[in-house]
């Protein structure tokens, strides 16, 4: 039995490494022929990002925030304040010598994927748009602190996500100027399916 489990793990590891290799390798016959299967395996959890090594590295602080519309026990609804999910990740990382990949990148990459697959009017562009929206919605619902957001007897019915983008001040010697005020991108309200609303939320 142990040998079988080990064999299954070895095969899964080889398949994963092969898919990642084909994703990052220059375009070739195999990657073109199986592009759909490779993309389905890689996106969104295993997407590779090389912006750190780009000619123009990221020069902005991006904070993802969410608020919820909650159905109360008496049949009414109320809207919560904004929860800064990026700040919560930052607090979890601070002082941690080995922070998890989830704390460092999960939320940021979900937002990057959404931005790359939607236009300025939040309309999906390409085949991955619906997947990116569903992924971001499920992620923010999972991260909502249900005890704070819903309260006793409440159910999260809809969520709204926004992003606050603040320029990192450039060094004085660069001669560059950063925007003084943050810029917000506000997404439309998304209805939370019943199976997600009933799920556990940290």
Give the integer Cα–Cα distance in Å for 157 and 42: 30
Q: How does DSSP assign 150-172, residue by residue?
A: T-TT-EEEEEEEEEEEEEPPPPG
- Give mean pLDDT, residues 88-104: 82
Among 46-60, 64-78, 126-140, name the one with the lowest average pLDDT: 46-60
Give the integer Cα–Cα distance in Å for 179 and 202: 35
**Contact in structure between 47 and 128 (CB atoms under 8 Å):** no
**Contact in structure between 137 and 197 (CB atoms under 8 Å):** no
Quick: pLDDT tens for 110-138.
998 999 899 988 898 888 888 899 999 99
């Amino acid at each position: 039995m142990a040998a079988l489990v080990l064999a299954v793990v070895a095969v899964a590891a080889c398949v994963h490494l092969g898919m990642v290799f084909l994703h990052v390798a220059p375009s070739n016959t195999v990657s073109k022929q199986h592009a759909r299967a490779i993309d389905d395996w890689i996106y969104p959890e295993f997407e590779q990002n090389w912006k750190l090594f780009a000619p123009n590295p990221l020069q902005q602080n991006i904070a993802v925030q969410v608020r919820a519309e909650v159905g109360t026990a008496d049949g009414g609804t109320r809207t919560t304040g904004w929860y800064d999910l990026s700040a919560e990740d930052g607090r979890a990382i601070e002082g941690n010598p080995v922070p998890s990949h989830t704390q460092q990148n999960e939320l940021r990459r979900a937002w990057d994927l959404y931005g790359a697959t939607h236009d300025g009017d939040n309309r999906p562009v390409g085949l991955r748009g619906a997947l990116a929206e569903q992924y971001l919605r499920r992620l923010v619902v999972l991260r909502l602190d249900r005890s704070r957001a819903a309260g006793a007897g409440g159910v999260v019915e809809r969520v709204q996500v926004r992003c606050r983008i603040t320029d990192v001040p450039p060094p004085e010697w660069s001669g560059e100027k950063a925007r003084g005020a943050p810029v917000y991108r506000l997404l439309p309200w998304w209805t939370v399916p019943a199976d997600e609303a009933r799920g556990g939320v940290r």
